Amino acid sequence: MSDELLSPGRTLGVIGAGVMGTALLKGMLDHGLLSRRQAWGTAKTEGTCEEVVQKLGITTARDYDELIADSGILLIAVKPGQAAKVAEKLKASGLRKDTLLISVLAGVSTDRLESFLSTENAVIRAMPNTPSLVGHGVTVYCAGRWAKQEHLEATRKIFSSVGKALEVEEHYFNAITALSGSGPAYMYLVMESLADAGVRVGLPRDLAMELVAQTMLGSARMVQETGRHPAALRDDVTTPAGCTIGGLLMLEDGKIRSVLARAVEEATRIVEQLGKGKS
Ligand SMILES: NC(=O)c1ccc[n+]([C@@H]2O[C@H](COP(=O)([O-])OP(=O)(O)OC[C@H]3O[C@@H](n4cnc5c(N)ncnc54)[C@H](OP(=O)(O)O)[C@@H]3O)[C@@H](O)[C@H]2O)c1
């Protein structure tokens, strides 16, 4: 693999062009990482295949056996329970030794995917989150046994096209799934609650929601762009005996820190169980 994502004549296929698979294809196409001719996707139903053709203008096929041999990168984005079936199909369809496999399957370790494949293909495990759909996701990724630096670099390029991409050690994956994978849901709940609170004190709902969404976005950017600790930024907006310190006291009374910590702890526990095949 050179500086280009793909070697000449090779393609990138997305096995499972659903919500996440399509978001990644769109990001790569929008950022010029590949041309429409180099990309293809597959899904279980004709309806999804047609939707992808309309949305992205790439080749799709329910039966993709013939597309495997030319693929340089295969992105696996089916549901986790389909991993073994997909691995079998890839092997039976002439998967080349130098094809990189990138999996976004929640809870499926690189070890497990490699054992399903029983080949020496480079495998990368990644965990994106849904804001990837609007180009503001965060993805973590790690290398399997046979993956080299060039494969990690290709992965970084792919996930950077839909947000931030960070290489991490695989043992962090469960905690990260609970924090940034599930994280958008926590943020939506906070946003919904704050918008309700705005309505409670007399604001129209649309206005309250717009204020909350922009405040969340702006606060996140303040943390990222100033590099300052959230506690220091919070201190900046709390004047003595003011309204903000009063509001913060109520949040502390409601044990907001411990509630959030318990939420992430519980989600981590559940991900661990899912990874062991229990539900
Ligand atoms: N969505 C997220 O926020 C998120 C975040 C991180 C990781 N993930 C991971 O991403 C994966 C996909 O999630 P998703 O939300 O994108 O699900 P999804 O929208 O249901 O996409 C799965 C796709 O796989 C296709 N498919 C099913 N069986 C197949 C097979 N045997 N061969 C080829 N394609 C097949 C489905 O086709 P049809 O549409 O025709 O049924 C569907 O398009 C999951 O493993 C999940 O753990 C998702």
Tell me the per-residue pLDDT of 111-157, one tens digit each, with 9 for 90 and over: 999 999 999 999 999 999 999 999 999 999 999 999 999 999 999 99
How sure is the predictor about 273, in pLDDT bands with cuts at 50, 70 and 90? confident
Last residue of a domain, one of 142, 176, 210: 176
Nearest-angstrom CA–CA distance, 78 and 248:
43
- Beta-strand ranges (E) seen in 5-136 are 11-15, 39-42, 59-60, 71-76, 100-103, 123-127
Same domain, residue pair 200 and 87 = no
Spatial CA neighbour of 127 closest among 169, 83, 85, 187:
169
75 C-alpha to center of ligand 1: Å?
Answer: 11
Spatial CA neighbour of 15 closest among 38, 36, 44:
44
CATH, residue 94: 3.40.50.720
Tell me the per-residue pLDDT of 64-104, one tens digit each, with 9 for 90 and over: 999 999 999 999 999 999 999 999 999 999 999 999 999 99
Last residue of a domain, one of 176, 196, 217: 176
103 lines ligand 1 (CB under 6 A): no
67 lines ligand 1 (CB under 6 A): no
Same domain, residue pair 120 and 157 = yes
Tell me the per-residue pLDDT of 32-66, one tens digit each, with 9 for 90 and over: 999 999 999 999 999 999 999 999 999 999 999 99
Nearest-angstrom CA–CA distance, 110 and 155:
15
**pTM for the structure as a whole:** 0.93
